[in-house]
Amino acid sequence: MEVAGLPDNETDMVNPDFAMVARAMGFKGITIEDPDEVESGLQAAFEHQGPVLVNVITDPNALAMPPKASFKQMAGMAEAMTKLMLGGKMEEVLDTVKSNYKHLKELID
């Protein structure tokens, strides 16, 4: 929605522990919180005989980068970030920048 110029507004959501929900339903649930745990967590899931839910915790500010960002998408993102700043949510803007600055070179190329 941010690339359309629409910042999230009043949409704070706390996800349940999906691995715990899976276990409550009678099948294996694995939560991966650290990037160093991805390989071992997925290996455990593939080795398990039966259904497995793998819950991977990711950075909520990480952007899903398209193969090629269009000018319209960049303008929409700038609009959304401006709205957040004007709405007093500068910390959220800074968190987004910190989580995604590594992709800046990809946009320029």
pLDDT tens, position by position, 27-38: 999 999 999 999
Residue 105: pLDDT band by 50, 70, 90 thresholds? low
User: How far apart, in whole angstroms, are the C-alpha atoms of residue 60 and residue 22?
Assistant: 22
User: How far apart, in whole angstroms, are the C-alpha atoms of residue 73 and residue 35?
Assistant: 29
Higher local confidence (pLDDT), 21 or 65: 21
pTM exceeds 0.75 for this model: no
